[in-house]
């Protein structure tokens, strides 16, 4: 892990009706795993199907984040390390959290295309809350990552 970890982008997915506490626990565990904090989050994103998800909206309000909700077709175009046919069956895309994190990180850098998979700090962190609901969080590095990668032969 780099000592100079800076800005991160969060991609999130969850079961319908997942409590805020479950989503926050998943987020905090993923961030702690790479030595990051919520203060380093510069972007947060999910799928448009979750644009009315109470826990996501509450998290955005609590942290002062604007959450970007991408359409399934946008997410489906992003190459990810852990695609899921189950996720595709229910959402129309094989990835929500990983693809959303890579798109959100690119947006922070003003890039039109998703960052490459190498930008992922946390690929697909899954957490099932005590209530049985699940949340998935992915984190992507977005501090100059794109420019560093492009400068390599």
CATH of the domain at 48: 3.30.420.180
**Residue 78 within any structural domain of the chain:** yes
Structural domain of residue 49, as residue ranges?
A: 10-150
Residue 54 CB contacts under 8 Å (≥ 6 apart), including other chains: 17, 20
pTM above 0.85, yes or no: yes
What whole-number distance in Å separates Cα of residue 97 and Cα of residue 107?
Answer: 15
Residue 74 has pLDDT above 80, yes or no: yes
User: How confident is the model over 93-122, as a mean pLDDT?
Assistant: 95
**Total domains in the fold of the chain:** 1
* CA end-to-end span of the chain: 23
Position 24 confidence tier, pLDDT thresholds 50, 70, 90: very high
Residue with tokens 């077709």: 73
Decide: 42 and 9 in contact? Cβ < 8 Å: yes
**Residue 5 within any structural domain of the chain:** no
Residue 115 has pLDDT above 90, yes or no: yes
Residue 138 has pLDDT above 60, yes or no: yes
């Amino acid at each position: 892990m780099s000592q100079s970890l800076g800005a991160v982008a969060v991609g999130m997915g969850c079961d319908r009706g997942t409590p805020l506490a479950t989503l926050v626990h998943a987020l905090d565990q993923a961030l702690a795993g790479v030595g990051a904090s919520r203060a380093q989050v510069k972007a947060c994103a999910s799928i448009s199907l979750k644009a009315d998800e109470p826990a996501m909206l509450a998290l955005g309000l609590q942290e002062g984040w604007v959450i970007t909700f991408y359409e399934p077709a946008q997410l489906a175009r992003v190459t990810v390390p852990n695609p899921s046919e189950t996720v595709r069956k229910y959402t129309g895309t094989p990835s929500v959290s990983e693809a959303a994190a890579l798109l959100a990180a690119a947006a922070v850098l003003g890039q039109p295309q998703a960052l490459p998979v190498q930008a992922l700090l946390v690929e697909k962190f899954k957490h099932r809350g005590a209530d049985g609901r699940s949340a998935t969080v992915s984190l992507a590095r977005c501090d100059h990552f794109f420019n560093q990668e492009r400068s390599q032969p």
